[in-house]
Amino acid sequence: MAIVTLQNVTYKYPLTEAPVLQNVNLQVNEGEFVAVIGPNGAGKSTLCYTLAGFVPHFFKGELTGIVEVAGVETHQSSLNEWVLNVGLAFQNPFNQISGAKYTVFEEIAFGLENIGVPRGEMKPRVEKALALTGISDLADRSPYSLSGGQQQRVALTSILVMEPKVLVLDEPTSQMDPIGTREVFGVIRTMAERGMTVVLAEHKVEWIAAFADRVVALKDGQVLLDGKPGEVLTSPLLEEAGFGISRYTSTARKAKEMGLWKKDQLPVTLEEAVEGFRS
């Protein structure tokens, strides 16, 4: 069952000349994990904002086509209602901290306070969310005293505690060091395993290959490819179009030209490469 549907979506920011999204068609099924890749300026963030309702409700501009989540059309809804269905987290963890709270626990409760959850329900919900993302031990710390990876996990928890139907993540690890990246992907993996519907814009293709059910390649606001990670991430079209691709894929492609790679399928991750060269 499709929970997210985009039909012929075209969008232009108030100040841009050309559309930033052009005729985008996309369906995401319930429980599916879809990764969105694309070079800089391809429109990944804009797509995320569209899914999360900030386009058009926050950014204004011209949006045509149909954007539907859980059976509701974006034009028929308000941002306030929309954010209850779609949670959004993005790159800079520092800017996602409300700035009004003293501890991580209070920070995570902020969203619940806003939507009027009674005090008695708040505590168990925050505790559950903290346990889910594995940051219960940070509960009493100040959000500003944390590392980037920890802050980003707090940001994710702050969204998850609101129990959205769809989670939209815009390059949540782009400002993380390798440790932070691993921490954040740990949380994303938990979400995926629990059957959460996730749309993730991300550059790090090796992580995508490990997690995603499907990959959408975006270029100049248009969908270039949409398919299984193994197919999309190894497509020769990507490199031509200026996408960052896995070094294992490019190595194996060279090896294939020289007759050293025997399989049809090219690898994306180290494991796949090792396995392929062995056989």
Partner 1 sequence: MHERLSFYVHRDSPLHRLNPLTKLTMVFAFILLSFGSPWYWTPHILIVLVILPLSFIGRVQREYLLTAARLIFPAAGFLFLMQSLFQPIGQTVWFRWWVLEVTHEAVAFAFVNAARIIVMVSSFTLLLLTTHPSELMSDLTRRGLPSQFAYVIISTLQIIPQMQAKAQTIIAAQRSRGLDTQSSFVKRVGALVPLVGPLVFGSLVEVEERAIAIEARGFTSSHAKTSLREIPDSRFDQILRGALIVSVLLAFVSRLWLS
User: For binding to partner 1 (CB under 8 A), which residues are involved?
Assistant: 49, 52, 54, 58, 79-80, 83-84, 87-90, 92, 95-102, 105-106, 109-119, 122-123, 142, 144-145, 155, 158-159, 162
Contacting residues toward ligand ATP, per CB under 6 A: 13, 15-16, 20, 38, 40-46, 59
What strand order describes the sheet that includes 166-170? Answer: 86-89, 166-170, 197-201, 33-37, 214-219, 222-227
| Least distance between partner 1 and beta carbon 69 (Å) | 14
Q: CB-wise, 55 or 216, nearer to partner 1? A: 55
38 touches which of partner 1, Mg ion, ligand ATP, none (CB within 5 to 8 A by kind)? ligand ATP
Rule CB under 5 A: which of 32-91 touch Mg ion?
44-45
Q: CB-wise, 8 or 16, nearer to ligand ATP? A: 16
Residue that the structure tokens 């149909």 belong to = 66
Rule CB under 5 A: which of 109-168 touch Mg ion?
none
**Dist CA 18 CA 27 (whole Å):** 24
178 touches which of Mg ion, ligand ATP, partner 1, none (CB within 5 to 8 A by kind)? none
Q: Which residues pair with 33 in a beta bridge?
A: 198
Q: CB-wise, 6 or 89, nearer to partner 1? A: 89
Q: CB-wise, 38 or 143, nearer to ligand ATP? A: 38
| Least distance between Mg ion and beta carbon 109 (Å) | 29
20 touches which of Mg ion, ligand ATP, partner 1, none (CB within 5 to 8 A by kind)? ligand ATP
13 touches which of ligand ATP, partner 1, Mg ion, none (CB within 5 to 8 A by kind)? ligand ATP
Q: Nearest 5°: CA angle at 91, between 75 and 65?
A: 20
* Residue 31 C-alpha from the chain's centroid: 14
DSSP 139-189: TTS-GGGS-HHHHHHHHHHHHHTT--SEEEEESTTTT--HHHHHHHHHHHH
Burial pattern 237-272, b for ≥16 Cβ within 10 A else e, equals ebeebebebbebbebbbebeeeeebeeeebbbbeeb
| Least distance between partner 1 and beta carbon 89 (Å) | 8
Write the CA distances from 235 to 34, 93, 268, integer angstroms: 17, 32, 11
Write phi, then psi, for 6 (nearest 5 degrees): -115, 125
Q: CB-wise, 19 or 143, nearer to ligand ATP? A: 19
User: What does the chain come to in residues?
Assistant: 279
Where on the chain is the footprint of Mg ion (CB under 5 A)?
A: 44-45
